Amino acid sequence: MIFSQIKKLVDRLPLLVIASMQFVLLPPACFATDYDKIVVPAEPPPVRGNYAPDAVGLGWIAFENGNHKQALTFFKWQIQYHPDEPHAYFGVAYVYSIEGRLDEAIRFYRESLQRDSKHADTYANLGYALLRQRQSTEGLQMLDQAIKLTPGCGAAYLSYSLYYGNQEKWKEAGEYANEAIDRGVKIPSAYVKRLRKHKVRVNEPTSLQ
């Protein structure tokens, strides 16, 4: 029974993660000067092999239930027994990123890319983590690579918007925010208000369906 439920979860992971790992984890006041607590949505790398959905799927179930510690246990268990599975490294990195453990998140995103160098959202999330660490040169390179691999990668456009917003370049911030919205990304309401405060016209969100 549990394995059929896991399979169903893994089959819908791309939609599940994009729809649920959203957005604001910070009070609006923090947004005035920093974007460290905003979570960029992500589509996990494809699961390889027949074994991976068991541990990785359980990890995402735990994450969805708000149990980050248990999620990390499952992801790391998968790494221990199947060290070539990029999805497990991505899961660890994503949890660490949300928890603000950026050095560890960056390391695990890099580990994931070593095993799957074609997954755009891994580049996007690595780029965002690097930007949060003020490593802008490499961070922007990662975002560019994400867009190069997948022009529809909304996470990369949102990250670019946040980058420009923090530089008070509101025209560019708005353009990238609207690109993200057009690709199905839900923009945090605090950020939308800030963009509009600076006379930026923000598109209406598109459906995730």
Q: How confident is the model at residue 42 (pLDDT cuts 50, 70, 90)?
A: low
Q: What is the pLDDT of residues 157-184, one digit of tens each?
A: 999 999 999 999 999 999 999 999 999 8
Q: Distances in Å between the alpha carbon of 68 and those of 94, 162, 170?
A: 10, 25, 35
Joined tokens for residue 67: 């149990």
pLDDT of residue 44: 53
pLDDT greater than 80 at residue 144: yes
Cα–Cα distance for residue pair 173/96, rounded to 1 Å: 26
- Model-level pTM? 0.74
Q: Which CATH number fits domain 2-197: 3.30.413.10, 3.40.50.2030, 3.40.50.200, 1.25.40.10?
A: 1.25.40.10
Q: How confident is the model at residue 33 (pLDDT cuts 50, 70, 90)?
A: very low
Residue 86 near residue 116, CB atoms below 8 Å:
yes
For the chain, the domains span 2-197
Name the average pLDDT for the chain: 78
